[in-house]
Amino acid sequence: MTTITVFAALAALSVLTLTVTIFKTIQFRRLGVGGHKRGEEILDDWLNGRPDEAQRKATAGKTVLARVLGAVMSGLRARPSEPGYGEELARQVALAELARMGARMRLLEAVVQMAPMLGLLGTVIGMIDAFGNLALSQEAADPRLLASGIWTALTTTAAGLAIALVAYFIASWLEGRIEDERQTIELVISSAIHGRIAQPARA
């Protein structure tokens, strides 16, 4: 293995990071992640005695919250005396939605772990090559050639760290959106079944 091979592997990881980022961005948009306003409208209709309107909006909605609310309302309307049934239906839908949102996230985690290690490997290989060439040279050592070899070797570590940092921040951003959606799902399920807590009046 040479430093060129390591650079090629790091380039592949950067392409993978970009591909996953684009995929997740498009996926989140199609799933309707973050569409809380629509969910609030559905919940307001449900809590204010307009179940048919709420169900219609939930059926037509293209957001995660709309699908979860549609499930809980269907369960509550089918078995009004068993709120646990509606809650269970909603949780099943929520688990499926969260699983879809979490798909491919492990690829970014793998990049975060692999990129620095590959960069370090490239540095070690480059240093071995630089000092190996120096040892085999029959002429006086040229400090400039040695410095050039060391510079090339250290570049792989810098590249690996840069790729890992970018992947880490992207993964953190995506995981933050998933966690926000999970908390909102829990809140709307509870609100649909038990009602909302009255908000204190502002001074």
Query: Is residue 128, in this structure, part of any structural domain at all?
Result: yes
Do the domain assignments include residue 200?
Answer: no
**For 63-90, how does the pLDDT look when each residue is reduced to its tens digit (9 = 90+)?**
999 999 999 999 999 999 999 999 999 9
Residue 139 has pLDDT above 80, yes or no: no
| Crossing angle of helices 143-194 and 36-47, rounded to 10° | 10
Structural domain contains residue 118 = yes
Tell me how far apart the terminal alpha carbons of the chain are, to the nearest angstrom. 69
- CA dihedral of residues 27, 29, 32, 34 (deg, nearest 10): 110
The pLDDT of residue 2? 79
| Calpha distance 63→31 (Å, rounded) | 6
In total, how many domains does the chain have?
1
Does residue 199 lie within any of the structural domains?
no
**Looking at residue 141, what DSSP letter applies?**
-
Q: Is residue 137 part of a domain?
A: yes
Tell me which residue range forms the domain holding 22: 3-194
Residue 1, CA distances (Å) to 31, 67, 126, 154 in order: 43, 51, 10, 16
In a domain, 8, yes or no: yes
pTM of the model: 0.84
Q: How far apart are CA 34 and CA 127, in angstroms?
A: 49
Indicate whether 114 belongs to any domain. Answer: yes
pLDDT in tens, 89-115: 999 999 999 999 999 999 999 999 999
Distances (CA, A) of 78 to 58, 71, 195: 16, 11, 18
Residue-wise pLDDT for 163-173, tens only, equals 999 999 999 99
Q: Which letter does DSSP use for residue 142 in this model? A: -
CA atoms within 13 A on the CB side of 26: 7
Does residue 51 sit within a domain? yes
- Give the torsion through C-alpha atoms of 142, 144, 150, 156, to 10 deg: -140
